[in-house]
């Protein structure tokens, strides 16, 4: 009996279907999120650290709760209405006004790709002495190959890079505690909570919630409401955990970290661990590729769905690759012409669009339509 129980438990964790339902969406979301969410650490300063060590941690707790609710409801809505691309999702949610979301999504894509396009060249230039075109070229080719390869290859690539990222973050956390553990503990022991931590957690949650649109293509494995809810909560945990690791390390340098332009580079430099900085930068570069691929694949899936609905055969692999390369080039062009700051001025407004459509919309219209569907099916 005992051996049968162990065998059953082992099979549960090794079951690939279980992995695709409960872990894959989270790994995809985390892969797309990190480059613009907490890759450099500056984002954590802006939304959490300024509220004090304890206040920032409370804000991250609020972000996790909001993400868990939003992911779970989004995953269930996508499953129930078989909406695995963002156009279909928002057509089912808000009908003819779906185009409002697409406009906001495309503007967001331009902002993020402008930032990623600039960073992809500068990372390899500043720390490895390579010309900007080398980093930009690797970014462009990688995005083109992955988008050409399709959903399955993207699922595998984003999942495995998440494993690498988690390993690097855990190593980072370990060395930080061995060298600055006393300072980390002392800063948390003070219990500093500055006013506004709730707003910081709220803004950060919705600043990144558009990532749900990049996960939709991986949700077709979900078969029940229970699976969708568990998958959504798990995805929220997978996304927030590395941010918490990084935040805890940063608190060993509080309050100096508040004035650091790129906290990750400064902190890793002070750790004095050979090869950690170049490994960190390579991983960060990889996350930028992942972010680009995640957003570009969402656009491809939206176009593919529209073509099929019109009686076509969908996008070919070549068309997917060319679209990914085109969007990557667009990001590089935006970064070179300095349009990021101009576009970013409207980012606050865009965040409120995401809050209204995905937050308010899902918890009002979305829940209503799910309940209505339940009643129709039971009748």
Q: What is the CATH number of the domain that holds 202?
A: 1.20.1740.10
Q: Is residue 330 part of a domain?
A: yes
**pLDDT (tens digit, 9 = 90+) per residue, 353-372?**
888 888 899 999 999 999 99
Q: Is residue 10 part of a domain?
A: no
11: how many CB neighbours lie within 10 A of its CB?
Answer: 10
Q: Is residue 9 part of a domain?
A: no
For residue 31, pLDDT over 60 is answered with yes
Q: Read off the pLDDT of each residue in 260-280 and give the average, rounded to a whole number.
A: 82
For residue 338, pLDDT over 60 is answered with no
Scanning 258-275, the segments in alpha helix (DSSP H) are 263-271
Write down the mean pLDDT value for the chain: 83
Q: If you search the block for the tokens 């960190």, which residue do you land on?
A: 280
HSE-up of residue 273 (Cα within 13 Å, Cβ side):
20
Q: If you search the block for the tokens 């939206």, which residue do you land on?
A: 302
Q: What is the percentage of the chain residues whose pLDDT exceeds 90?
A: 31
Nearest to 218 by CA among 11, 15, 5, 22: 22
Question: In the 8-state DSSP scheme, what is residue 55?
Answer: H
The pLDDT confidence band at residue 17, using thresholds 50, 70 and 90, is: confident
Q: Read off the pLDDT of each residue in 91-120 and give the average, rounded to a whole number.
A: 82
How many domains does the chain divide into? 1
The pLDDT confidence band at residue 166, using thresholds 50, 70 and 90, is: confident
With b for 16 or more beta-carbon neighbours within 10 A and e for fewer, the 349-369 pattern comes to ebbebbbebbbebbeebbeeb
- Quickly count helices (H) and strands (E) in the chain: 19, 0
Asked if residues 35 and 287 have their Cβ atoms less than 8 Å apart, the reply is yes
Asked if residues 215 and 155 have their Cβ atoms less than 8 Å apart, the reply is no
How many residues make up the chain in this entry?
379
Distances (CA, A) of 83 to 27, 92, 125, 208: 20, 8, 41, 20
- Structure tokens, 140: 């462009």
HSE-up of residue 148 (Cα within 13 Å, Cβ side):
11
Q: Is residue 11 part of a domain?
A: no
For residue 160, pLDDT over 70 is answered with yes
Domain that holds residue 169: 22-371
What is d(CA 289, CA 294) in angstroms, rounded to the nearest whole number? 9
Q: Read off the pLDDT of each residue in 137-141 and give the average, rounded to a whole number.
A: 80
Q: Is residue 378 part of a domain?
A: no
For 212-261, list the strands marked E by DSSP. none
Q: Tell how far CA 315 is from the center of its chain.
A: 25
Q: Is residue 357 part of a domain?
A: yes
Q: What is the pLDDT of residue 290?
A: 82
Q: Tell how far CA 118 is from the center of its chain.
A: 19
316: how many CB neighbours lie within 10 A of its CB?
Answer: 11
Q: Is residue 80 part of a domain?
A: yes
Question: pTM for the complete prediction?
Answer: 0.85
Q: Is residue 343 part of a domain?
A: yes
């Amino acid at each position: 009996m005992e051996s049968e129980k162990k065998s059953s438990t082992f099979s549960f964790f090794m079951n690939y279907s279980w992995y695709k339902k409960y872990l894959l969406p989270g790994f995809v979301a985390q892969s797309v999120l990190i480059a613009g969410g907490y890759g450099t650490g500056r984002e954590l300063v802006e939304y959490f650290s300024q509220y004090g060590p304890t206040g920032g941690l409370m804000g991250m707790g609020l972000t996790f709760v909001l993400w868990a609710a939003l992911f779970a409801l989004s995953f269930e809505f996508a499953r129930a209405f078989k909406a695995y691309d963002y156009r279909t999702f928002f057509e089912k949610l808000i009908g003819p006004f779906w185009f409002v979301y697409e406009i906001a999504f495309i503007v967001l894509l331009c902002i993020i790709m402008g930032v990623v396009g600039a960073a992809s060249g500068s990372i390899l230039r500043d720390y490895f002495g390579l010309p900007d075109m080398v980093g930009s070229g690797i970014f462009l080719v990688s995005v083109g190959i992955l988008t050409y390869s399709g959903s399955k290859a993207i699922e595998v690539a984003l999942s495995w890079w998440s494993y690498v990222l988690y390993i690097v973050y855990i190593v980072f956390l370990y060395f930080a505690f061995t060298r600055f553990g006393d300072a980390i503990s002392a800063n948390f022991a003070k219990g500093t909570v500055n006013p506004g931590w709730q707003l910081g957690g709220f803004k950060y949650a919705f600043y990144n919630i558009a990532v749900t649109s990049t996960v939709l293509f991986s949700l077709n494995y979900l078969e029940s409401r229970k699976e969708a809810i568990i998958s959504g909560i798990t995805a929220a945990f997978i996304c927030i955990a590395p941010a918490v690791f990084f935040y805890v390390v940063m608190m060993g340098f509080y309050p100096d970290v508040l004035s650091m332009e790129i906290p990750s580079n400064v902190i890793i430099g002070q750790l004095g661990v050979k090869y950690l900085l170049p490994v960190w930068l390579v991983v960060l570069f990889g996350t930028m590729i992942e972010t680009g691929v995640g957003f570009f694949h969402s656009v491809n899936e939206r176009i593919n769905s529209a073509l099929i609905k019109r009686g076509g055969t969908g996008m070919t692999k070549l068309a997917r690759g060319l679209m990914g390369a085109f969007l990557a080039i667009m990001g590089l062009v935006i970064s070179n012409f300095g349009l990021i700051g101009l576009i970013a001025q409207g980012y606050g407004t865009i965040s409120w669009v995401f809050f209204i459509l995905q937050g308010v919309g899902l918890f009002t219209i979305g829940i209503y339509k799910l309940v209505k569907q339940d009643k129709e099916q039971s009748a």
